Amino acid sequence: MPGGSVLTSRRYAVLGSTGQLGSELCRILPGKMMPLTRKDLDLAQPSNARPLLKELQPDVLINCAAYNLVDRAEQEPGAAFAVNAYGVRELALACRDLGCTLAHFSTDYVFGLDETRCTPYLEEDAPGPLSVYALSKLAGEYLVRALCPKHFVVRTCGLYSLKGQGGKGGNFVETMLQLARAEKPLRIVNDQVCTPSYTVDVAAAVAALVQTDCYGLFHITNSGSCSWYEFAKEILERSNISANVSPISSKEFGAIARRPSYSVLATRRAAKIPELVLPGWKDALSAYFEERDALASPK
């Protein structure tokens, strides 16, 4: 990895800087930080991508922006592809021409077509997206990998954070706590298995990754796996909240877009870099509650 003086002299532009990952990356990356929001660069209309990056001259552009409304994308595929594919194409071309490294985030949802799968997906496994959102994210991946030589494409999964909830609002942990405290019955999907991942851990790994020249596709998540029902049970147990929680199927839940029944990502490639090895999802949840408690404590 580059030395300390090199790190602190590097210039980072983070698009989607107020979201879960973006806000954490802005907090921990060394060097000059240039946070960008949709007002600075809207990937749905990315005509100013090249002139903006030419003006800023970042060494690394990290794209945390995305159209991530999974169900709505089924009704508005054009909007999903505009941001997740065509806008990303403009970033990749601009970064290529300016000699800038592009780090771009993708999703475990690029998998799922194989309904018999029960072992974690490797980077080289063939994708099988089930939804418009997933297909648009996969298209963005391919465009980055094809057009920008110095790239990192990072697939991650089940993100939650106390910071910057972005366009979705809230996170799964807080939603479970709020509903349970309101004494509302919780019916949680039990046939979708993934790895809930704490953005503090994922951001730390990505911050280390972009200091290297190990370009390519990486899976970066916490380790282990669970269903959303199992995750909810763990959240409530850690919080000492007694709630009426029951498992249901994806069919019973009735979401518009199909989700993978199994989308655990193998992190074998990331494991070759020590800083990219993340704790188990239960340990990550403990760290989340510690951060949450610290923020709630009077100063």
pLDDT bucket at 295, cuts 50 / 70 / 90? confident
Least Cα distance to 59 among 103, 25, 20, 3 occurs for: 103
Domains in the chain: boundaries: 4-296
Q: Which of 6-10, 174-178, 217-221 is most confident? A: 217-221
Higher pLDDT among residues 6 and 55, named by residue:
55
Choose the catalytic residue: 133, 160, 198, 288.
133
Is the pLDDT confidence value at 120 over 50? Answer: yes
What pLDDT does 296 receive? Answer: 78
Is the pLDDT confidence value at 145 over 60? Answer: yes
Is the pLDDT confidence value at 165 over 50? Answer: no
Least Cα distance to 201 among 218, 216, 217, 223 occurs for: 223
Q: Decide if 288 is catalytic.
A: no
What pLDDT does 256 receive? Answer: 97
Question: Over the stretch 191-203, which tens digit does the pLDDT of each residue have?
Answer: 999 999 999 999 9
In the chain the first and final C-alpha atoms are separated, in Å, by 37
Is the pLDDT confidence value at 164 over 60? Answer: no
Least Cα distance to 195 among 177, 169, 172, 214 occurs for: 172
Residue range 29-50: average pLDDT?
Answer: 94
What pLDDT does 293 receive? Answer: 87
Q: How far is CA 193 from CA 31, 77, 167, 213, 284, in A?
A: 38, 26, 24, 32, 17
Tokens of 74: 């089924």
The DSSP output letter for 38 is T
Question: Over the stretch 55-85, which tens digit does the pLDDT of each residue have?
Answer: 999 999 999 999 999 999 999 999 999 999 9
Is the pLDDT confidence value at 298 over 90? Answer: no
Exposure class string for 128-167: b at 16+ Cβ within 10 A, else e = bbbbbbbbbbbbbbebbbebbeebbbbbbbbbbbbbbbbe
Is the pLDDT confidence value at 144 over 70? Answer: yes
What pLDDT does 35 receive? Answer: 97
The CB-side HSE value for 277 (13 A sphere, CA atoms) comes to 5
Is the pLDDT confidence value at 17 over 60? Answer: yes
- CB contact at 8 A, 264 and 195: yes
Is the pLDDT confidence value at 179 over 50? Answer: yes
Residue range 290-297: average pLDDT?
Answer: 85
What pLDDT does 4 receive? Answer: 55
For residue 264, the Cα-to-chain-centroid distance in whole angstroms is 14
pLDDT bucket at 167, cuts 50 / 70 / 90? very low
Q: How far is CA 288 from CA 55, 77, 227, in A?
A: 37, 34, 19
- Classify domain 4-296 at the CATH class level: alpha beta
What pLDDT does 2 receive? Answer: 59
Is the pLDDT confidence value at 33 over 80? Answer: yes
| Cut 0.85: pTM above it | yes
What pLDDT does 294 receive? Answer: 87
Least Cα distance to 203 among 20, 11, 35, 24 occurs for: 24
What pLDDT does 3 receive? Answer: 56
What pLDDT does 166 receive? Answer: 46
What pLDDT does 184 receive? Answer: 86
Residue range 179-188: average pLDDT?
Answer: 91
Q: Are strands 193-194 and 226-227 parallel, antiparallel or unpaired?
A: antiparallel
